[in-house]
């Protein structure tokens, strides 16, 4: 296949579906018939070069596809003419590798803040429960001092146990 400028030649090749827009774009560029505005302008000024950037631009796709899908580069290499400089470049280079994700140095601190915030919320909930229980006890005490109404006995031992348990939990956390 020496002149892959026609799309029929490209369709005959065994090309993955992801690479079809790139191979079609390559055929248009080799036929000097780009559809993309910037490539058309470069063709008019005589500065249009067939390279990975112009192919991706003509295909209206991102160049990151070359990294994420090495089969695109392989398809382009198979479609390009033998003496084309881009083919020689693709044959000499190893396929690009995905860049490793950057490590976030603040992640352990953010995790610690999340954990501490959760513990604080739990302790506030426990404190609110105790406060409500104390208010109930105060109401019972007020009614006990008023001889007109009958009052249930106050369970001071339970209140003391709850307060002591909450203090102990707070000491363990910090």
Q: Give the DSSP per-residue string, 41-60.
A: HHHHHT----SHHHHHHHHT
Same domain, 11 and 66: yes
Residue 53 resides in a domain: yes
Structural domain count of the chain = 2
Segment 49-80, tens digit of pLDDT: 899 999 999 999 988 888 788 888 888 888 88
Compute the half-sphere exposure of residue 89: CA atoms within 13 Å on the CB side of its CA: 10
Going along 13-134, which residue ranges are E strands? none
Does residue 94 or residue 139 have the better pLDDT? 139
pLDDT of 4 > 60? The answer is no
Please list, in sequence order, all residues whose beta carbon lies within 8 angstroms of the beta carbon of residue 90, skipping any fewer than 6 positions away. Answer: 73, 76, 77, 80
Query: d(Cα 80, Cα 73) in Å, to the nearest integer?
Result: 10
Residue 167 located in a structural domain? yes
Say if CB 53 and CB 17 are below 8 A apart: no
Indicate if 17 and 79 belong to the same structural domain.
yes
Q: Are residues 141 and 87 in the same domain?
A: no
Q: Are 92 and 36 in contact (CB under 8 A)?
A: no
pLDDT of 1 above 50: no
Indicate whether 88 and 134 sit together in one domain. no
Q: Is residue 40 part of a domain?
A: yes
Tens-digit pLDDT profile for residues 22-40: 999 999 999 999 999 999 8
- The pTM assigned to this predicted structure is 0.49
Q: Which domain holds residue 132?
A: 122-173
**Same domain assignment for residues 20 and 67:** yes
Is residue 162 included in any domain, yes or no? yes
């Amino acid at each position: 296949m020496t002149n892959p400028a026609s799309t029929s030649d490209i369709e005959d090749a065994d090309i993955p579906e992801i690479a079809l827009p790139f191979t079609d774009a390559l055929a248009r560029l080799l036929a000097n018939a780009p559809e993309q505005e910037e490539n058309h302008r470069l063709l008019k000024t005589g500065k249009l070069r067939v390279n990975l950037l112009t192919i991706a631009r003509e295909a209206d796709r991102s160049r990151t596809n070359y990294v994420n899908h090495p089969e695109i580069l392989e398809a382009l290499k198979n479609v390009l003419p033998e003496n084309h400089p881009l083919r020689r470049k693709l044959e000499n280079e190893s396929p690009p590798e995905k860049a490793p994700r950057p490590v976030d140095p603040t992640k352990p601190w953010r995790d610690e803040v999340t954990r501490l915030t959760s513990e604080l919320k739990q302790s506030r909930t426990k404190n609110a429960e105790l406060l409500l229980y104390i208010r109930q006890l105060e109401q019972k005490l007020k009614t006990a001092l008023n001889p007109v109404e009958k009052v249930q006995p106050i369970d001071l031992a339970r209140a003391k146990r709850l307060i002591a348990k909450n203090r102990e939990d707070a000491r363990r956390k910090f």
